A = this chain, B = another copy of it.
Amino acid sequence: MYNHSELKEVIDRALINLSYNTEASRLIDPVKYILSMGGKRLRPVLALMACNLFSDKIDNAILPAAGIEVFHNFTLVHDDIMDQATVRRNSPTVHCKWNVNQAILSGDVMAFISNDCFLQAAANDLAKVLRVFNKAAIEVCVGQQLDMDFEKAPVVTQSEYFRMIEMKTAVLIAASAKIGAIIGGADEKDTDLLYEYGKNLGFAFQIQDDLLDIYGDAKTFGKTTGGDIVANKKTFLFVKASELAKEKQLKQLQNLFSIQETDPGAKINAVRDIYDQLSIRAITETLANDYISRAFSMLDKVGTDPKRKTELVNIANSLIGRDQ
């Protein structure tokens, strides 16, 4: 059994050692740049953990797991263009460091570098793995579409919000766990359970991410920015608050989210006041916890020795800031 930090190291090494086999350094430099920015590598680590749940041999899962991370970074490069984001992980985004055309094209090539990584899966598993991956990749595009549509929508319901984060975030995390399980040799029942485990984890992860934007503990999670509020992003907190708000609060909230505030600090404080009045923090924390519990109930049903599940339990707890 491998632990979390061993698996992260395996992935980091695999990403550094990716061979591009091309003379076009202008095309590939942005790929190396975004992949070198680091990060938790949540999706590939989950894929390896899910593989390791069923098999002591994880070799055939390493490149497919890296492929998932390359795909994820491809979506970041293109999303940053669409969102006109200038900074990612304290560095300039690809389209800012180079230009929009370069970011489109270097993003595109990542989609096929990613595809090629899956060919390391055993021939028997390949079609199954790719069916899961392609479905998730298409759904991630649907999720980005819904997210873009939300920007122009005056109202977003809870069910619309959940559909968006399901597509944009949860399905790829779900697919990561399922792909790992397939390569590890799990049967259909268990691969489906891993998918549901990952999906619930994905929901918890996104809701927690929404929460940390304003209530994050700098010590544990890094900087609190209120960036979502400044950008008028329709997060779970906003959607839930809109649902619970009395008439006057709703007007205030909609007004705050429709203007480009000149004083971001004042705007963040005003929104936080409304959230506090409506107990949004506690509601959100409870919901993230619920999703983690649902993830665990899926994991419980998986037919392996419970001891093998420790890493998948720990990573879930760590996502919502629980001590391990």
Q: CB-CB < 8 A to A115: which residues of B? A: 115, 130, 134, 137
Provide the bound-state CA to CA distance between A107 and B105, in Å: 11
Judged by a CB distance under 8 angstroms, whether A127 is at the interface is yes
Contact residues in B for A144 (Cβ distance below 8 Å): 105
A112 within 8 A of B: yes
Query: Given known contacts A115-B130, A116-B138, A134-B115, is B27 in contact with A78 (CB within 8 Å)?
Result: no
Interface string of A96-125 (1 = CB under 8 A from B): 000011001101110111011001000110
Centre residue among A115, A123, A135, A149 by max chain B CB count within 10 A: A115
A149 CA / B109 CA spacing, docked (Å): 16
A115: nearest residue on chain B (CB-CB)? Answer: B134
Q: B138 contacts A109, CB within 8 Å?
A: yes
Chain B residue with minimal CB distance to A112? B137
Is A127 a contact of B130 with CB atoms below 8 Å?
no
Q: Is A141 an interface residue (CB 8 A)?
A: yes
Which residue from B101, B108, B138, B148 sits with its C-beta under 8 Å from A22? Answer: B138
Q: Identify A145's interface contact among B24, B112, B148, CB under 8 A.
A: B24
Are A142 and B104 within 8 A (Cβ)? no
A231 in contact (CB, < 8 A)? no
Q: Is the CB of B141 within 8 A of A130?
A: no
Chain A: residues with Cβ within 8 Å of the partner, total of 41
> Is there an interface contact between B112 and A134, defined as CB atoms closer than 8 Å?
yes
Q: How far is it, in angstroms, between the C-alpha of A124 and the C-alpha of B124 when the chains are bound?
A: 9
What 1/0 mask marks residues of chain A from 117 to 160 whose CB sits below 8 Å from any chain B CB?
A: 00100011011001100110111011011101100000000000
Does A82 belong to the interface (CB within 8 Å)? yes
Separation of A113 and B139 alpha carbons in the complex (Å): 11
A61 at the interface (CB under 8 A from B): no
Give every chain B residue within 8 A of A112 (Cβ-Cβ): 111, 134, 137-138, 141
Where the two chains meet, the residues of A that have a C-beta atom closer than 8 Å to any C-beta of B are: 21-24, 26-27, 75, 78, 81-82, 100-101, 104-105, 107-109, 111-113, 115-116, 119, 123-124, 126-127, 130-131, 134-135, 137-139, 141-142, 144-146, 148-149
Given contacts A23-B142, A81-B101, 16 further A-B contacts (CB under 8 A): A21-B138, A22-B142, A78-B105, A78-B108, A101-B148, A105-B148, A107-B108, A108-B108, A109-B138, A109-B141, A115-B115, A115-B130, A116-B130, A116-B131, A116-B135, A123-B124
